[in-house]
Amino acid sequence: MFYNIKMEKTMTNETTETVNETETVLNVSGETVSWPTLKEVEKEHFFETLKRVKGSKVQAAKLLGISLPSVYIKLKKFQKQTVNTVNQENTAL
């Protein structure tokens, strides 16, 4: 309970602005910091794991502590997000 109260107080002293779905800019005491979202951290960890096991989905599933079908679901989801991000960037140009 005390921890939650402290967090609420801390959050009132900070300014947070969401730049896009994968990045948040946090302004604390005049210092601006770009901070990845939890979704972006998960995506980076997922692909780093696949890279370390040389693409083996079975080994990645074991390391990540998820089922093999979950690996395929996340792979499809993250690849779709990447394509959408690239398309948005190309449209903005």
- Give me the residue spans of the domains in the chain: 1-36, 37-86
Q: Which residues, 6+ apart, have CB-to-CB distance to 56 below 8 Å?
A: 50
The string of pLDDT tens digits covering residues 81-91 is: 877 777 777 77
- Cβ atoms of residues 69 and 60 within 8 Å: no
Find the largest Cα–Cα distance for the chain. 48
Question: Which pLDDT score, from 0 to 100, does residue 52 have?
Answer: 97
Domain 37-86 has CATH 1.20.120: no
Strand residues in the chain grouped as ranges (E): 15-20, 23-28, 31-36
Q: What is the pLDDT of residue 11?
A: 47
Residue 1: per-residue pLDDT: 34
What's the full length of the chain, in residues? 93
Task: Please state which of the ranges 2-6, 29-33, 40-44, 72-76 shows the lowest mean pLDDT.
Answer: 2-6
pLDDT tier for residue 16 given thresholds of 50, 70 and 90: low
